[in-house]
């Protein structure tokens, strides 16, 4: 059995210090007089000795504690060496089930990591300092002359954590170099609550029945844009007035796709939305699988793309005379409208959020009228207190 003892030693370097007479100092005086780093040494399961150098005793103590736990668990061997480029390629192959957008984002983050740290860099040699320098470099970048938004930098940090968590799980590294890094504090982005009256104006301004259907599903069912675009006719139950959001895998004429929350959701569809979908179903193209497809151009009949929706919704929004808002604000407004009449955990379930805090923080807006009611309540309480005080005099 290999020795489970993990040792900490000084690693001296540089010239041996001398006294005033020019004689070399004895080794007993080296710790205070000679430049040194610290080395942590241990034996792996195969009996081979391993070591790692750090700058300070505090770092050595922390590393020794971590290594000692690994050695006792039989994980004392150094991870196998793999370059960042090779790991990135492997990561994208083994991370199945990612949505198309998430896959693109992770590919982009891996590209940034290779650009800054080097594709031939061994993954197990990437340190927490490297991680901090990478995020600092990314935050200073500019895109089209504009600085990177803090929320964007935070997202890249979360992606780096997830990517290197896979390296830990694959035993390529012991510890995630991005784990202890904190995100920048950012304020919640403002968004516009779309009232029922404004929704009707959007429906009236929509250029086609197809667009009316997409707006209705976002506002009446709270679907994400990706969920809307990946709906097929098999997902809609007209008799029951329901639809399902479910992953697509290996279906004929249907692209593979995974919803953000991974689980299947079954949602009730209000009558106005069902009526629009019924009209849309009356004249689909031959063999059309998706509800919403391109109506013109070289890709006519194919599933609509996300960029088309974001761009064209802004045109509809301006035509309807609404203030600045996005397609996603329709989904947020759905959550706000529901929160007035049903419990928050039901809103969370219908929205497909894994954490109820997401629903509360980003998807439920306190309306101005409620703010006025709160103000009036305080004023009334103060007025009653003054009346009571006057009456007692």
Pairwise pLDDT comparison (365 vs 259), residue with the higher score: 259
Whether the domain at 84-169 and the domain at 196-362 fall into the same CATH topology: no
CA distance 302 to 293: 5
The predicted-structure confidence for 167-187, as pLDDT tens digits, reads as follows 998 888 888 999 989 998 887
Query: Are residues 253 and 289 in contact, defined by beta-carbon separation less than 8 angstroms?
Result: yes
pLDDT at 131: 94
Q: What is the pLDDT of residue 144?
A: 86
Position 55 pLDDT exceeds 90: no
Residue 64, both tokens: 């020794």
3-state SS assignment for residue 50:
strand
CA distance linking residue 244 with residue 386, whole number of Å: 57
Say which DSSP state 331 is in.
H
Angstrom distance (rounded) from CA 160 to CA 326: 28
- Indicate if the pLDDT at residue 203 is higher than 50: yes
Lowest mean pLDDT of 76-90, 205-219, 330-344, name the range: 76-90
Spell out the domain ranges in the chain: 7-72, 84-169, 196-362
Per-residue model confidence (pLDDT) at position 3: 58
Distance separating alpha carbons of residues 338 and 350, to the nearest angstrom: 10
pLDDT of residue 25: 92
Backbone dihedral region for residue 237 (phi beyond 0: left; psi -120 to 50: alpha; all else: beta): beta
- The answer to whether residue 262 scores a pLDDT higher than 70 is no
Token reading at 217: 């599903």
CB within 8 A of 292, min separation 6: which ones?
A: 210, 213, 214, 228, 229, 231, 303, 304
pLDDT bracket for residue 123 (50, 70, 90): very high
Task: Identify the CATH homologous superfamily for domain 196-362.
Answer: Intergrase catalytic core (1.10.443.10)
Mean pLDDT of the chain: 86
- If one compares 378 and 192, the residue with the highest pLDDT of the two is 192
Cα 369–Cα 370–Cα 376 angle in degrees, nearest 5 = 90
pLDDT at 68 over 90: no
Q: Between 346 and 98, where is the model more confident?
A: 346
Per-residue pLDDT of 207-230, as tens digits, reads 999 999 999 999 999 999 999 999
**pLDDT band of 267, cuts 50, 70, 90:** very high
CB within 8 A of 235, min separation 6: which ones? Answer: 243, 244, 245, 246
Q: Alpha helices of the chain — where are they, by DSSP H?
A: 30-33, 57-72, 84-94, 100-117, 128-140, 150-169, 196-205, 209-221, 225-229, 271-281, 306-320, 327-339, 344-351, 356-362, 368-392
d(CA 179, CA 174): 12
pLDDT tens-place string over residues 27-41 = 999 988 899 999 998
Distance CA 365, CA 190 (A): 10
With CA atoms as reference, report the closest residue to 65 among 175, 182, 180: 175
pLDDT 10s digits, 278-308: 998 886 555 588 888 876 655 666 788 777 7
Average pLDDT over residues 361-371: 69
**CATH code given to domain 84-169:** 1.10.150
Task: Return the pLDDT at 245.
Answer: 93
In degrees, rounded to 5, the angle at the alpha carbon of residue 16 between the alpha carbons of residues 12 and 21 is 155
Rg for the chain, CA atoms, rounded: 30
- When comparing pLDDT for 369 and 236, which is higher? 236
Mean pLDDT of 106-123: 95
Q: How far apart are CA 123 and CA 168, in angstroms?
A: 10
* Dist. CA 198–CA 328, nearest whole Å: 15
Residue 71 token pair:
């050695």
């Amino acid at each position: 059995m290999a020795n489970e003892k993990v040792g900490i030693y000084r690693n001296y370097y540089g010239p041996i210090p001398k006294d005033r007479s020019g004689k070399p100092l004895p080794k007993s005086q080296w710790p205070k007089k000679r430049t040194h780093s610290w080395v942590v040494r241990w034996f792996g399961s195969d009996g081979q000795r391993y070591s790692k150098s750090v700058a300070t005793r505090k770092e050595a103590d922390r590393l020794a504690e971590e290594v000692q736990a690994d050695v006792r668990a039989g994980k004392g061997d150094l991870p196998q060496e793999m370059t960042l480029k090779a790991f990135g390629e492997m990561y994208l192959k083994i991370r199945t089930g990612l949505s198309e957008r998430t896959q693109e984002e992770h590919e982009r983050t891996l590209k940034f990591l290779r650009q800054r740290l080097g594709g031939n860099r061994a993954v197990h040699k990437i340190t927490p300092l490297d991680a901090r320098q990478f995020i600092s470099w990314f935050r200073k970048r500019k895109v089209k002359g504009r600085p990177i938004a803090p929320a964007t930098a935070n997202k890249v940090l979360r992606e780096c954590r997830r990517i290197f968590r896979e390296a830990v799980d694959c035993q390529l590294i012991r510890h995630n170099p991005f784990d202890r890094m904190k995100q920048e504090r950012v304020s919640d982005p403002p968004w516009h609550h779309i009232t029922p009256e404004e929704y009707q104006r959007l429906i009236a301004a929509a250029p086609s029945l197809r667009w009316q259907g997409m707006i209705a599903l976002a506002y009446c069912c709270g679907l994400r844009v990706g969920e809307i675009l990946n709906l097929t006719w098999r997902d809609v139950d007209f008799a029951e007035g329901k639809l399902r959001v479910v992953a697509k895998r290996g279906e004929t004429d249907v692209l593979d796709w995974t919803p953000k929350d991974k689980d299947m959701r079954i949602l009730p569809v209000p009558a106005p939305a069902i009526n629009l979908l019924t009209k849309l179903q009356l004249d689909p193209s031959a063999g059309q699988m998706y509800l919403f497809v391109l109506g013109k151009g070289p890709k006519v009949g194919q599933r609509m793309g996300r960029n088309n929706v974001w761009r064209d919704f802004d045109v509809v929004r301006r035509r309807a005379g609404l203030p600045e808002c996005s397609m996603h604000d329709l989904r947020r407004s759905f959550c706000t409208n529901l929160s007035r009449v049903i419990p928050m955990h039901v809103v969370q379930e219908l929205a497909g959020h894994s954490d109820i805090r997401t629903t509360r923080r980003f998807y439920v807006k306190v309306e101005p009228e409620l703010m006025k009611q709160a103000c009036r309540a305080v004023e009334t309480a103060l007025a009653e207190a003054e009346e009571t005080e006057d009456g007692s005099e």
